[in-house]
Amino acid sequence: MSDLTCPMCTMNEILDFPEKYECMTCGHEWDKEEEEGSTERVVKDAFGNVLENGDIVQMIKDLKLKGTSKTLKSGMKSKPIRLVDGDHEISCKMDGVAIGLKAQFVKKVQ
């Protein structure tokens, strides 16, 4: 048993090979370099700029909000954002509405 946990199933039964780790439970394999690197997720906007909590973002294309008649227009700016886990990386308010956005539809405002 080791202190490592599998990134896929979070079990701690890990086999240690010279260049990789392997989970005995699910069979997932990963390189040792991946484990040694930062596990913090990096979120980038449509132009490759790294986004952080508190940044202001701007829409790069019009997006219709599902379930409403509102459309977020290109150029619309957000309130300070918060990065979250999941399918939509950004949680923010735009036009008075709290929404979740994918980073590919915004650019960071400098």
- Strand 106-108 to strand 97-101: parallel, antiparallel, or no bridges (unpaired)? unpaired
pLDDT at 81: 95
Other CB atoms within 10 A of residue 14 CB: 20
Query: What does the pLDDT look like over 12-23, one tens digit per residue?
Result: 888 988 888 888
Q: Are 81 and 92 within 8 A, CB to CB?
A: yes
Beta bridge partners of 108: 57
Query: What does the pLDDT look like over 62-95, one tens digit per residue?
Result: 999 888 888 999 999 999 999 998 888 999 999 8
User: What domains does the chain contain, in order, with CATH numbers?
Assistant: 1-39 (2.20.25), 43-108 (2.30.30.40)
At position 76, the amino acid (one-letter code) is M
Beta bridge partners of 50: 44
